[in-house]
Each structure stands twice: as structure tokens, then as C-alpha cells.
Chains A and B, each alone.
Chain A
């Protein structure tokens, strides 16, 4: 080993180790926040997050600008991790009834899996603009999914009614509706499923008639 490469190694080696440790700790902080929320602590303090991640309180803000930065990074992670849950069985195929059932099933699966983190994301979206944009982005994708799933029924409508029916479908099967019925109305996931299927049938069945 030349002196030159040894020197380089001294310079790069420890740097690399530091970068890896940094990356590992950063991940641990993200996981700690998500873990605490999933365990029911909807508003964990920095101290608690640091403790769970096994890093010092101060270092949390070496990895993230502030709490808002950490929060939106964690939500981004959750969105990526659960994206696969959003795919609909036999997308766009089958009878109207089947397509409604498959969509409802997909939404319920997603919301059940992400309930507490989603709840916190909604609460934070009011105050962290970035989270607001994340959620708006998801809604665009969801709306496109509805258009594909119910093209047959929607194509019978004029532009204005089509837009309003799409809005109603989006709201009916939204996380907000799930949370309201489950938490505030005390309904079971099965009961919510029945409610949503009935509502979507009513919204789409009559789609042609005036």
C-alpha cells in the first residue's frame, strides 16, 4: 500500500463509516417515530423518539432540520412502504358490483394497515404544508384509480355530474370517512364496508338516469 492510498484511506475510510452510521441513525429515528405512532402515541416528543432510536436527543436535529422535516420524511416512507396495498384486484374488470366490492376492499385494507399513521398525517397536514402536498398527490392518484375502475358508469355522465360523482366517491371512501365511522361512530370495518358498498351503488347505479 502506497503512502498516498493509505492517506486516502485514512481520509475516506472513517468518512464512510461516519456516513453509514449517520444513515443508520437517521433510519432509526424515522422508524422510532413511526413505531411510536403505531403503538398509539400520536404526538411523541423528541426525547421519546431519540430514546427509542437509541440516539442522543440532540442528534435527532443533526439528521433533520426540525420536527416538520422528520415528520414529512416519515410519512413519505410510510407512503412508499404501503403503496402496494393500493392495487385493486381485477382493476377495471367485472360487474359494477364486483368493481365496487374490490375497490372498497382495497381501501379498507389500506386504511386498516395505516390507521394511526394516517390519522397523524391528517392532523399534521393542517400545519405542515409539505404533508398537505403529499396528501393532495395521493388524492390525485386515487381519483385516477376511480376513473379507471368506474369508467363504464362515469362515461354516461356529462362533465359536471361526472366531476361531482367522482368527488362523492372520493369522499365516501376516504380515510376521513373511515376514521369518522370507526372512531367516532364506533362502527366495525365490516359495517363500514357495507355502508360504502351501498353508497357507491347508489352513486353509480343511477349514473345514467336523471
Chain B
């Protein structure tokens, strides 16, 4: 590509030092100031990211309630600067969880939700859930640990669960709409809890099931729950 460098900004790289011979000295001054400002902003962003990553890593390693000191050490920033980036530890926890959910939840989207033959829809939802849970397991566990003491995290989990429950209803609307109201709700609830992260985590972490066993179990169970047309 010719002309000005339009390299995409990589937040993990130090600010690129540009410079064109044709720039006047005044312009160069402005550019420098902007670059310095840019550099500062990028450093800030990089440090903020490092703090979030440090928190998630520490919790994953078993430190349920890492101190600010431990987080700062791991992130390689000063203790005080943690609170330049975040109001308090709850703010940090909530931000870390929110950010990762925003990045990873799109993995759970089912293209053409609710359309196609039943068998294909079963496969589509099973694969979508496995994709999103495999990628977000760590984050999700942190959220579950944090939820009792950070109301925003509790609300966030609730929201995610609402989205997933709604996906089940829409994806299997054809089958569920055939059932009387309270039965449709009951079967949708059973599917929601069967296909939940909690169910995934229980089996992977406590029962040592592998993803393939989980896939077969979910496929079998969804088929039975929806095809057997319960009569009560």
C-alpha cells in the first residue's frame, strides 16, 4: 500500500513512531504531542488490560480473592496505579467479566436460529453451546465465584442466562408450540438447564466427561425431551 501508513493499531505494540520528511516543524511538534498523548493512552490501555488478565489468572490459579498487591505484581504495574484504572476491586472484577463475555458470547450465536430440520437444529445448538462454554469456562467460573458479592456480576449472569433460555425457546419453537403452555415451559426449562454452563461445568470439572461424551449426552437428551411428547 502506498501513501500514509495505515497500519492497524495494535494495542499490544508501543505507539508507532511515524514521520514524513515533508512535515513542517510546527506540524512535527503537533504530531509529537499527539503521539505522546497516544502513547500514554496506549500504555494506559495496555496496563489496564494487564491488570484484568492478572486478576483472571490469579483466580484461575486458586486465589479466590487476590489482593491488590498480588494483582499489581502479576500485571507488572504499581500497586497505586491499579486504582487509577479502576474504582475498586469490584469495579475491576465486574469489568474483567463483562469484557470477556462481550468478546466470547458471539460464539454462541446460531445462524438461522429456529430454522431447518429438527436433527440439524439439535446439532447446531449442541455445537454452539460447546463452542461458547469451552472458550468461556474460566471466565464463567470466576463470575460464579464473584456473583455472591458483586451484584452487577450476579445481574450479568442472569442476563446471559436469559439470552440462552430465549435461544432454546426460539430454536425449538416448532416443537414447543405444540405443547400446552405449562408443559412447554417445563420442557423449555429442562432444556435450558440441561444445556446450561452449569451443566457443562458439572460434567467436565466434577465428572471428568470429555467434550465428545457431553455432545452425545446432549444430543440424546434433547432428542428424547422433544420427540417423546410428554403427556403430563
Contacts and interface: CB of A to CB of B under 8 A. Distances in A.
Most buried by A among B141, B157, B190, B202: B190
Nearest to B215: A164
A124 interface: yes
Contact of A165 (B183, B187, B220): B220
B194 A123 contact: no
A165 B182 CA distance: 24
B198 A176 contact: yes
B165 A185 contact: yes
Contacts of B95: none
B220 A164 contact: yes
Q: Is the contact region of chain A dominated by helix, strand, or loop, or is it mixed?
A: helix
A128 B62 CA distance: 7
A181 B183 CA distance: 15
Given A202-B228, A203-B221, A180 B198 contact: yes
B192 interface: yes
Interface in B56-102: 59, 62-64
Given A120-B148, A181-B189, A202 B224 contact: yes
A194 B220 CA distance: 21
| Size bracket of the B interface | 35 or more
B199 interface: yes
Interface in A117-152: 119-120, 122-129, 132, 135-136, 139
B209 A167 contact: yes
Contact of A43 (B62, B148, B165): B148
A126 B224 contact: no
A127 B145 contact: yes
A164 B145 contact: no
B232 A198 contact: yes
B121 to A, nearest CB: 17
Most buried by A among B63, B196, B198, B227: B198
A201 interface: yes
B202 A198 contact: no
B206 A198 contact: no
B161 A185 contact: yes
Interface in A148-197: 160-161, 163-165, 167-168, 170-172, 174, 176-177, 179-181, 184-185, 187, 191-192, 194-197
A120 B141 CA distance: 13
B189 A195 contact: yes
Interface string B198-213: 1101110111010001
Nearest to B230: A198
Contact of A184 (B62, B158, B206): B158
A206 interface: yes
Most buried by B among A129, A161, A174, A187: A174
A36 interface: no
B145 A126 contact: yes
Contacts of B192: 180-181, 185
B144 A123 contact: yes
B125 to A, nearest CB: 15
B149 A43 contact: yes
B199 A184 contact: no
Given A164-B217, A187-B189, A197-B232, A180 B196 contact: yes
Given A180-B161, A185-B189, A206 B224 contact: yes
A23 interface: no
Nearest to B216: A164
A164 B215 CA distance: 10
A16 interface: no
B59 A127 contact: yes
B161 A184 contact: yes
A28 interface: no
A88 interface: no
Interface of A: 42-43, 119-120, 122-129, 132, 135-136, 139, 160-161, 163-165, 167-168, 170-172, 174, 176-177, 179-181, 184-185, 187, 191-192, 194-199, 201-203, 205-206
Please provide the 8 A-B residue pairs with the shortest distance between their CB atoms, ordered closest to farther. Answer: A42-B148, A176-B198, A199-B190, A177-B193, A127-B64, A195-B186, A168-B221, A164-B217
